[in-house]
Amino acid sequence: MYKVLVTDHISEAGLKILMEEPEIDLEYQPEISWEELLEIIPEYHAIITRSRTPVNKELLEKAKNLKVIGRAGVGVDNVDLDEASRRGILVVNAPGANTVGAAELTIAHLYAVLRKLHLAHESMLQGEWNRKKFMGEELDGKTVGIIGLGNVGSQVAIRCKAANAEVIAYDPYIPKSKGERLGVEIVETLDELLKRSDVVTLHCPLTEETRNMIDKEQFKIMKNGVYFINCARGGIVNEDALYEAIQEGKIAGLGLDVYSVEPPDDRIRRLFEFPNISLSPHIGANTFESQDKVAIKIAKQVIAALKGEFVEAAVNAPFTITEGFEQIKAYLELAEKLGSFLTQYGGGHFKEIEIEVRGKIAEHLKPIVAYVLKGFLSPILDRDVNIINAPYLAKERGVIIKEATREEGLNFKEFIKITARENGKETVVGGTALYEKLPRIMLVDNYWIDVEPKGVILILKNQDVPGVIGKLGMILARHNINIAGFQLGRLEKGKLALGVLQLDDKLNDVIFEEILEVPEIIEAKEIIL
């Protein structure tokens, strides 16, 4: 029998599932005090919380029997993940449960600004009857551009298609086959979407790649009189640039549910001066149905985790220690670093990834593949990725994963090689662990190198002629960037070379521009490991 404690209010639908499970002894105390919680937590195997209850080190030190922490929602800011992981406690949450709620809120904001419903409502409250003042536009026949065709974006697309709108989408991580199933055209570039769209709506995560993705240049590309909706994440849009676009008359209607600062500060509140703006206080998940789905999902996840079954939405994933684990720890670290390197070097927009493991470590193929995928996905997702959910997230994105094992290699007995393919192009990275303890990246495309996968790495392709390194060194020295290490690989004298520099500090845009101005340098990328 597993004892489960619920310390915050959740929907009756989730409680019912827990109560009907014969192996669960449920205690529902949504108003429990912190002092009482600390006193009784030692007897429980699982705790389900929302944001009210801090699952911190103090609590976890007393939770001697705790196996699972269930967060009824997406965010886990109130959970000490490191401490939970160190103690082998699984943390699960409920992503995706608010998909329909977020999609419907998007449509609500869109119709509000298209038909000026909020303004007409205020006018009526003031005793007016001014029909001419509220001439609107129809969604029928318009081109809706969806940035991010994930769960919510797909639901928005379905609803816009039902309104007879043309729907296009930009999402470099979604296969075109998904667009075909939805009747949505997947465009190649963000610029193309912005140029063609009458309505632009955001449904992508906030990552380093998407932060300020919509800035001054992007607003300039948009049509005059565009309708702009953001019910995704604050921070994807540069709100200063958004304000300028409003001032210039670029935008006909604006719908916002999220903000870079919540509650909005005075800088953001400048936007509220715009007349045709529909606002809400981050309520995408605030529906009775969404809360039911959250409760049901977290209840099922906690039950599955307690029973040792597969958990789809694990936030952390303590690796099961098997025989020989200590001997492959360095290779698991290498696998994750190679996956991250691959994404940052190759862009991450791959349709197929083949992971080949050579030598005696091949018997640990599955965990190595999981760590590669964890590293591959982490830079491009705003949710926690672990070795349990990484393979499923990759599959969800339409990435074909191929696994292979081989006998010991000629150059290295144990070796991990990743070949990523997209539209006939291959990107290859590979490495080994020296003395089974020191991870090293040894192969990039066809170039042999030897690089420690750590810190700031500048990788460049250049013409193999004298003076390139000198010019690069002068640029870095001028900006007080120290070179910690340098590797050079080439296939043939006088052709192309691959340079890999380990740096003490990150580069900025100014430095990058100077590097790319060196005539012999063809390509340069910064990788953070």
CATH number at residue 496: 3.30.70.260
Q: Please say whether the beta carbons of 261 and 234 come within 8 A.
A: yes
Question: What pLDDT score was predicted for residue 280?
Answer: 96
Q: Print the SS3 string covering 223-291.
A: CCCEEEEECCCCCCECHHHHHHHHHCCCEEEEEECCCCCCCCCHHHHHHHHCCCEEECCCCCCCCHHHH
Cβ–Cβ under 8 Å, residues 161 and 182: yes
Q: Does pLDDT of 246 surpass 60? A: yes
Band (pLDDT 50/70/90 cuts) for residue 77 is confident
Q: Is 216 a member of any domain?
A: yes
Mean pLDDT lowest for which of 102-111, 121-130, 301-310? 301-310
Identify whether residues 301 and 390 lie together within a single domain: no
Q: For the chain, what percent of residues have pLDDT higher than 70?
A: 96
Hey, what are 316's tokens? 């952390």
Q: Is the domain of 371 the same as that of 470?
A: no
Strand order in the sheet with 251-256: 185-186, 166-170, 143-147, 199-202, 226-230, 251-256, 277-279
Stretch 152-163: mean pLDDT: 96
Number of domains in the chain: 4
Mean pLDDT along residues 331-352 = 91
Taking CA atoms, 2 is separated from 25, 26, 62, 68, 302, in Å, by: 6, 8, 17, 11, 10
Question: CA 358, CA 374: separation in Å to the nearest integer?
Answer: 20
Q: Of 403, 420, 453, which residue sits at a domain end?
A: 453
Domain residues for 145? 99-279
Give the chain's mean pLDDT: 90
Task: Determine the distance from the C-alpha atom of residue 50 to the mean position of all C-alpha atoms in its chain, rounded to a whole number.
Answer: 22
pLDDT at 323 over 60: no
Instruction: Please indicate, yes or no, whether residues 55 and 124 belong to a single structural domain of this protein.
Output: no
The answer to the question of residue 320 being in a domain is no
Same domain, 256 and 202: yes
Q: Using one digit for the tens of pLDDT, what is the confidence trace for 406-460?
A: 888 777 889 999 999 988 889 999 999 998 889 999 999 989 999 999 999 999 9
Which are the contacts of 117, defined by CB distance < 8 A and separation ≥ 6? 111
Please say if the pLDDT value at position 320 is more than 70. Answer: no
Confidence of residue 326 (pLDDT cuts 50, 70, 90): low
- The model's confidence at residue 325, banded by pLDDT at 50, 70 and 90, is low
Tell me how far CA of residue 249 lies from CA of 225, 252, 268, 312, 327, in angstroms: 7, 7, 18, 46, 63
Contact status, residue 66 vs residue 47, Cβ threshold 8 Å? yes
Reported as a pLDDT band with limits 50, 70 and 90, residue 318 is very low
Count Cβ atoms below 10 Å from residue 104 Cβ, excluding itself: 19
Q: Final residue of a domain: which of 433, 453, 473? A: 453
* Neighbouring residues of 310: CB distance < 8 A, sequence distance ≥ 6: 304, 388
Task: Say how far apart CA 164 and CA 506 lie, in whole Å.
Answer: 48
Contact of 514 with 472, CB cutoff 8 Å: no
How big is the chain by its Cα radius of gyration, in Å? 26
Residues 178 and 152 grouped into a single domain: yes
More confident residue, 172 or 175: 172
CATH no. for residue 298? 3.40.50.720
315 within domain boundaries: no
* Beta-bridge mates of residue 440: 432
pLDDT of residue 315: 78
Closest-CA residue to 102 (of 227, 299, 289, 277):
289
- pLDDT given for residue 316 in this prediction: 75
Residue located via tokens 């998909």: 99
Choose among 493, 101, 420: nearest CA to 290.
Answer: 101
Contacting residues for 439 by C-beta, under 8 A, at least 6 apart: 330, 331, 333, 334, 337, 431, 432, 433, 452, 453
User: Worst-scoring range by mean pLDDT, 5-19, 314-328, 368-382, 436-450?
Assistant: 314-328
Mean pLDDT on 326-334: 84
322: pLDDT strictly greater than 80: no
Same domain, 54 and 85: yes
Q: How many angstroms separate the CA atoms of 431 and 337, rounded?
A: 10
> CA–CA separation, 341 vs 141, rounded Å?
43
Rounded to 5°, the CA angle 515-520-526 comes to 35
The CA distance from 286 to 21, in Å, is 27
List, by residue number, the catalytic residues. Answer: 233, 262, 282
Tell me the pairing of strands 251-256 and 226-230. parallel
pLDDT band at 494 (very low <50, low <70, confident <90, very high): confident
3-state secondary structure 430-455: EEEEECCCEEEEEEECCEEEEECCCC
Residues 128 and 88 in one domain: no
* 350 touches 400 (CB < 8 A): no
The whole-angstrom separation of Cα 25 and Cα 440 is 49
Confidence of residue 51 (pLDDT cuts 50, 70, 90): confident
Whether residue 502 sits in one domain with residue 429:
no
Residue 319 lies in a domain: no
| 43 belongs to a structural domain | yes
Q: Does 425 share its domain with 460?
A: no
In a domain, 527, yes or no: no
Q: Give a yes or no: residue 317 inside a domain.
A: no
- Could you identify the residue written with the tokens 């291959």? 426
Minimum mean pLDDT range among 101-110, 476-485, 487-496: 487-496
Q: Taking a C-beta distance cutoff of 8 angstroms, is the pair 494, 465 a contact?
A: yes
CA distances for 211 relative to 144, 194, 206, 238, 443, angstroms: 22, 17, 6, 8, 31
Please indicate, yes or no, whether residues 344 and 448 belong to a single structural domain of this protein. yes
Where is average pLDDT lowest: 4-8, 51-55, 409-413? Answer: 409-413
Cβ-defined contacts of 153-160 (< 8 Å, 24+): 153/203, 153/204, 154/178, 154/182, 155/99, 155/100, 155/102, 155/103, 156/103, 156/106, 156/107, 156/201, 156/203, 157/182, 157/183, 157/184, 158/182, 159/103, 159/104, 159/107, 160/107
CATH number of the domain to which 415 belongs:
3.30.1330.90
Contacts by 431-439 with C-beta closer than 8 Å and gap 24+? 431/334, 431/337, 431/338, 432/334, 433/330, 433/331, 433/334, 436/327, 436/330, 436/331, 437/330, 438/330, 439/330, 439/331, 439/333, 439/334, 439/337
Q: Are residues 191 and 338 in the same domain?
A: no
8 Å CB contact between 162 and 155 = no
Dihedral over alpha carbons 330, 332, 338, 339 (to 10 degrees):
-160
Give the C-alpha separation, 303 to 311, whole Å.
9
Confidence of residue 317 (pLDDT cuts 50, 70, 90): low
Is the domain of 64 the same as that of 180?
no
